[in-house]
Structure 1
Amino acid sequence: MTSEPAYQALFLGAGPQMQCGVGHFTRLLQETIEKLDPGSCGSLTLTRSEGTAADIWRAIGSARSVVCNFPIVAWKRVIFRPLLALGIARLRRRRVVLIQHEWGGLHWLRRITYIPALLLADTILMFSPLVRRELADDPLVGWTLRKCVLAPLPPNIEAPAGIADSKLRQRLAAAREQGRLVIGHFGSIYPGKQPNALLQIGAILKERGLNPLIVYVGSFIRGVDTVEDDFYARAAELGIIDDVMVSGYVASDHEVFGLFSEIDAFCYPLDEGLTARRSSILTCVQSGRPLIVTGPALPDEFDHHPRFKELIDRGAIVLVARGSEDEVYADRIAAALKWPSVQAPFDFDGWWLDVAQAVRAQLP
């Protein structure tokens, strides 16, 4: 005689290592579902030293489903154990819900490690129709499209009640007092965000005499790419190496929004256009500063995400037509200086409630 599983869902995580965006998302999602249905969620910590096959077998036996935001922590640290857990879940006839944020924008080596998770999943939760189409176009695993369900992505970071000062914030404040135009870019720096494209726009603004300072609030992702070297080489080539600052890791949300308070406008020129999976955009919007970004590639990109669509409709996010020249972005940034700063209410809990309900709908 077997006992009834104690949990509706078992979340795979990496314990204290979960300081990256993937880990933070997993924690917030589990906490929100737990608030909706106390006692319904369990967690399993998988690290290089924790999570033996026996541990995984017992933990999965305690739940009716397994939720995996793969990779559960920064890529290359913990890959085998989550895949082992998904395999055991299928063996034990537990439902597997895989959360997949990207596809086409991933380096091909990363996509290879993701393929087993796609194959083992019963449901693949995605946040963007464009990413879903990228998966559908993949000649190897495109057939997994039939498992895909769209959900609305919330921001990982909530604007705090107060802000924290820092040496970098003081430098930005001093720059603004000297009449410099501070342009912001928030989030991890990697090729998919086209960080070098903003450098060209900064060079145009400098030629116009607007004295820009481009601030990247985030750090470079360490991987097989040479994105950091390419970034600084391009800045030097454009003659703006002294007009660019990269914060590196910022320890607290209060410090992040302290830096945001000294930014005049945010700008994201994206080859793929704005997608509904851009959590960093949603974090920036909460600052009330103008945000200029390339328009979406698909007309239905936000049909499943009314909250995101509302931000665009009311002008909190300003779209630039795809294919526009860099001068158009420069024009929009210059125009944004004349716009009033609007700190509109942002229902952070409501955004998370939406995605929690979407995930719960996939659980047995």
Structure 2
Amino acid sequence: MPSPQPSPPPSVVIFGSARPVTCAVMDYSRRLCDAINAQRPGFIAMRMIEPNQPAGFVRAIAEVLRRDQVAHFQLPVEGWGNAILPGSALLAARLLSRKGRIAVTLHEWASLNRLRYLSMIPDVLATDGFIFVSPQQRESFLRTSLVSDRKKQAAPVIPIGPNIMPARIDPERVAEERVKTRGSGATEAEIVIGYFGVLYASKRPDMLLRVIRALHERGTRARLLICGDFLWDKPKDREAFFALARELGVIDWLDFRGRIDDEGELMAALSAADVFLLPFTDGISTRRGSFQAISQLAVPLVSTRPERPDEFDLSPSLKAKIDNPATVLCPIDATPDAFAEAILRANAHKAEAIGIDLAKSWDDAATAHLAFYDRLMAANRKA
């Protein structure tokens, strides 16, 4: 009996951080790989790299390039932080091999802090093809002088899909979560404000607490439900958050769940919220996985206005969520009291809130990525 033929190697390898990260970019990468392989089995794989092993880091990328494969990085990945090595590994690997192609998805560009921007320059210079998840980020990138006009113009916008899906919501579990989250006695909440996602500066964790304080000052007993956590390498941010909650007198009104990996448990907890609050510093956008996740639930939403009027033109479903009466968008510089007022307005339209179906979004993302990879590999064969 002939021995089975070995499976062909993948055409594309997405690299990620081997560190335990709370960053949603890695969740996105796994979903994307699953969606692409559903259309072309075995086409793409993931490989996790340990940033503190420089030689192995560069060697792994060079091996992929030498096999004429596409090495695909998702940037920024919080597990690599502002370290110089992850920002120069692609360039170092390119110096070891002229074969293969390097692709980078820039999840953020317009609002990168300066150190993060500088650390990424070597990788950007070494990249053959770029992908953006938001028109806002692509437009900002078009103004850079780091890469050629040809590469900039060829860079597509491919909206992300949600990192979590609501397929396994148990109504009984949701009812239990609502009782649990509202509490009882002196700290029984009249309204539960939900937040989902990683907590860092552009998500304004301090604003979440200040809005709860503002609601209490208005006479509304509000509880803050957080399903998410701070970045693993920023423990002081977590400590400062709880210190501020005590300072503002809302620590007893904080239900901090942290990261919840089980999707059923997560969606049941989120479904217990009366209104979601996402006070992004750069406006709500298609690149925000946290927004996509909660948009699938028929729960009112308060966030900040998008920076671009056409931000959601590529996603009619998300635009429907934005245009719903139970969604209230505030200026980016809105005060805690303004956010509190918006929450009460959104909650008044709770019966009109919608949850949108984003199941097809990953199929669309996979199709668009395959077209991008095909073009990149065709250019490689011609080179």
Shift of 1:224: 5.9
Q: Deviations over 1:63-105 (max 9, x none)?
A: 4422221356722599747853564357333222101111344
Deviation at 1:173, TM superposition (A): 4.2
Question: How far off is 1:59 after superposition?
Answer: 3.3
> After alignment, is 62-71 or 130-139 more displaced?
130-139
What residue number does 2:3 align with? Answer: none
Give CA-to-partner distance per residue, 1:306-336, whole Å, 9 cap, x none.
Answer: 3322322345643234554443322232233
Task: Tell me the CA shift for residue 133 of structure 1.
Answer: 4.2
8 Å CA contact 2:162–2:358 kept in 1: the answer is no
Helix, strand or coil: the match of 2:193?
Answer: strand
Q: Does the 8 Å contact 1:9/1:64 carry over to 2?
A: yes
Q: Partner residue of 2:346? A: 336
State the match for 1:11 in structure 2. 14
Instruction: Give yes or no for the alignment of 1:92 onto 2:95.
Output: no
Q: TM-score, normalised by structure 2?
A: 0.79
Q: Is the 8 A contact 2:14 2:46 kept in 1?
A: yes
Instruction: Tell me if the contact between 2:321 and 2:355 (Cα under 8 Å) persists in the aligned partners.
Output: no
Q: Is the 8 A contact 1:97 1:123 kept in 2?
A: yes
Residues 179-198 of structure 1: pairs in structure 2 closer than 5 A: 179-198=189-208
CA contact (8 A) 1:115 1:141 kept: no
- Note the alpha carbon deviations across 1:240-292, whole angstroms, 9 max, x for none: 23322322232311221121122111112233211221110111122221111
Distance, in Å, in 2 between the alignment partners of 1:316 and 1:148 is 35
1:27 aligns with 30
The code of the aligned residue for 1:130 comes to Q
1:157 and 2:164 aligned: yes
Cα offset for 1:294?
A: 1.1
Q: Amino acid of the residue matched to residue 251 of structure 1? A: D
The alignment of Structure 1 onto Structure 2 pairs a total of residues equal to 359
Q: Give the 3 Å change call, closer, same or farther, for CA 8–195 of structure 1 in structure 2.
A: same
Specify the SS of the correspondent of 1:98.
Answer: strand
Q: 1:276 maps to what in 2?
A: 286
Show CA shifts across 1:94-130 (max 9, x none): 2221011113444433333322221111222111233
Change in Cα spacing, 1:15 to 1:271, as seen in structure 2 (3 Å) is closer
One-letter code aligned to 2:275: A
Greater helix percent: which structure? 2
Structure 1 segments unaligned to the other structure (5+ residues): none
Conserved in 2, the CA contact under 8 Å of 1:9 and 1:63?
Answer: no
In the alignment, is the contact (CA less than 8 A) between 2:321 and 2:354 conserved in 1? no
CA distance in 1: counterparts of 2:334 and 2:232, whole angstroms:
31
Rate the CA distance shift 1:261–1:308 in 2: closer, same or farther, 3 A: closer
> Corresponding residue for 2:119?
113
In the TM superposition, residue 216 of structure 1 has moved relative to its aligned partner by 1.8
Report if aligned partners of 2:193, 2:224 keep a CA contact under 8 Å in 1. yes
Query: CA shift at 1:152, angstroms?
Result: 0.9
Corresponding residue for 1:132? 138
Amino acid at match of 1:125: I
How far, CA to CA, are the matches of 1:128 and 1:233 in structure 2? 35
Query: Residue 74 of structure 1: SS of its match in structure 2?
Result: helix
DSSP-derived class of the 2:156 partner: strand
> Quick one: which amino acid aligns to residue 94 of structure 1?
G
Structure 1 stretch displaced more, 153-162 or 62-71: 62-71
Task: Give the Cα–Cα distance (whole angstroms) in 1 for the partners of residues 285 and 294 of structure 2.
Answer: 15
Number of the residue aligned with 1:356: 366
Identical-pair percentage: 27
Partners of 1:86 and 1:96 within 8 A in 2? no
Taking the TM superposition and a 5 Å limit, the aligned residue runs for 1:244-323 are 244-315=254-325, 317-323=327-333
CA distance in 1, matches of 2:148, 2:225: 38
RMSD of equivalent CA atoms? 3.6
Q: Is the 8 A contact 2:15 2:46 kept in 1?
A: yes
User: Per the alignment, do residues 244 and 92 of structure 1 end up closer, same or farther by CA in structure 2, a change over 3 Å counting?
Assistant: same
- Of 56, 64, 67 in structure 2, the residue corresponding to residue 62 of structure 1 is 67
Q: Secondary structure at the match of 1:102?
A: coil
**Kept in 2: contact 1:10–1:65 (CA 8 A):** yes
Q: CA deviation digits over 1:30-84, x for unaligned, max 9? A: 2211111223224444335695766544433334422221356722599747853
| CA shift for structure 1 position 137 | 5.7
How far apart in 2 are the matches of 1:18 and 1:241?
26
Residues 34 and 136 of structure 1, relative CA distance in 2, 3 Å threshold = same
Secondary structure of 2:183's partner?
A: helix
1:228 aligned partner: 238
Residue in structure 1 matched with residue 357 of structure 2 by the alignment: 346
- Secondary structure at the aligned position of 1:184 is classed as strand
Structure 2 alignment gaps of length 5 or more = 1-7, 378-383
CA distance, structure 1, for counterparts of residue 345 and residue 23 of structure 2: 35
Match for 2:49: what amino acid? L
Q: Name the SS for the 2:99 alignment partner.
A: coil
8 Å contact kept, 1:32–1:352: yes
CA 10–253 in structure 1, closer or farther in 2 if over 3 Å, else same? same
**Shift of residue 26 of structure 1?**
1.3
**Cα 1:193–1:15 shift into 2, 3 Å:** closer
Structure 1 170/299 Cα, relative in aligned 2: closer, same or farther at 3 Å?
Answer: same
Moved more, 310-319 or 94-103: 310-319
